[in-house]
Amino acid sequence: MIPRYSRPEMVSIWSPETKFRIWFEIEAHACDAMADLGVIPRENAQAVWKAKDVEFDVARIDEIEAVTKHDVIAFLTHLAEHVGSDEARFVHQGMTSSDVLDTCFNVQLTRAADILIADTQALLAALKRRALEHKDTLRVGRSHGIHAEPTTMGLTFARFYAEMDRNLRRLKTAREEIATGAISGAVGTFANIDPRVEEHVCAQLGLTPEPISTQVIPRDRHAAFFAALGLVASSIENIATEVRHMQRTEVLEGAEFFSAGQKGSSAMPHKKNPVLTENLTGLARTVRMAVIPAMENVTLWHERDISHSSVERAIGPDTTITLDFALHRLTGVIDKMLIYPDNMLANMNKFSGLVMSQRVLLALTQAGVSREDSYKLVQRNAMKVWENGADFKTELLADAEVLAALSPAEIEEKFDMGYHTKHVDTIFARVFGD
């Protein structure tokens, strides 16, 4: 992923240096286990650890690979240059390349998941703080982009909190499912390596042994992992789209923070554009584009082919790095977001009283008017507001058929905003458990 959308901690997980360090640890721990089992001499296993502080030379490994055309063999050749050819002769005994590659990949995905989980927790904290801050800040709810009924800005933040809380659980499940390793040898039968070697290596790396592998770890695990990341990305876009809508000039109920010296347009100095949330929408698409290839990777020929390998070399780093950046950016947007309560009220009153139409409809039905007739009475007065800029309550108070069913006081009562916020505490208790 390009540096513009990258953060150092996540990037470091995918560096060649980190990869080769994990490869070394897999091989060294495997040698320890084989020495414990009496398969190889103890001194040879100990000799491998001479490289524990070595900074593996990426350029040298690439140079060897240019000849061998095999990345794991190139690494093992370079490792022997540090350890000594005779001392390293038992390294990789009974193992196959996928034992190293797949186990390493899952270590990297597990570490990436830990960062993404922490990112999501930080976003949840920001959403909760803003939800509590604006728990009672009235704004109009919209369906189809049209005014519906009153809600609160706090409920909007709470809704996004609940969605991201579900994503947190998905990420934790994805981490658990991907945290497996396999040191089972060619086609996964353990014919040339004891299963206890796998158990030892996995324990040292914080993984669980894969119950049954072929020559690779089953890719349904990876498909589930990237699907979870795709869901998180979709939720990021959901939140970002709401912020973008709120920042539209004709809405302006909320906006991204605009820092000192920031410029919105190269041509129009007056512009304040929602560039961060627009960027998040694009980044969400980048994350989601990994989901289908990850699912297609589930299907491999027999015990193994490498059709999945090139895909994972790209989507592993790109997807986790992008999502890490996006979660961090969204947290900043929420944390600093500007909220305009006065504009929210002004927007709600743009069509005076119209958002109370359902209350009047229900009151008429409760007063004995059929639902069909009640709907007609309310709608004909509502259309005067739409078409002529009339005041909805005034029109109702002037409608003889409405007054035949409801007294002026009863009509007046139907325009109490508090009616729509009476269960906010209940919803907040459900979401936050407080």
Q: In terms of C-beta density within 10 A (0-12 exposed, 13-18 middle, 19 or more buried), how is residue 101 classed?
A: buried
Nearest-CA neighbor of 303 among 236, 234, 218?
A: 218
Indicate the pairing of strand 180-181 with strand 208-209. Answer: parallel
Half-sphere exposure of 156 (CA within 13 A, CB side): 26
Indicate the pairing of strand 146-152 with strand 138-143. Answer: antiparallel
Examine the residue annotation and report whether 234 is marked as an active-site residue of this protein: no
Q: What are phi and psi of 252, to 5 degrees?
A: 45, 55
Residues 6+ apart with CB under 8 A from 332: 276
Examine the residue annotation and report whether 29 is marked as an active-site residue of this protein: no
The distance from CA 371 to its chain's CA centroid, rounded to whole angstroms, is 44
Q: Tell me the C-alpha distance between 386 and 178, whole Å.
A: 55
Could you give the 3-state DSSP secondary structure of residue 306?
coil
Nearest-CA neighbor of 74 among 16, 13, 11?
A: 16
Q: Tell me the C-alpha distance between 422 and 400, whole Å.
A: 31
The H or E element containing residue 194 is none
Q: Are 356 and 363 in contact (CB under 8 A)?
A: no
Q: Tell me the C-alpha distance between 343 and 244, whole Å.
A: 16
- Given 265, 307, 310, 407, which residue is catalytic? 265
Q: Tell me the C-alpha distance between 124 and 424, whole Å.
A: 19
Q: Which two tokens stand for residue 382?
A: 């509502």
Q: Around Cβ 287, how many Cβ atoms within 10 Å? A: 25
- Given 85, 143, 144, 302, which residue is catalytic? 144
Could you give the 3-state DSSP secondary structure of residue 57?
coil
Give the residue numbers marked as catalytic: 144, 265
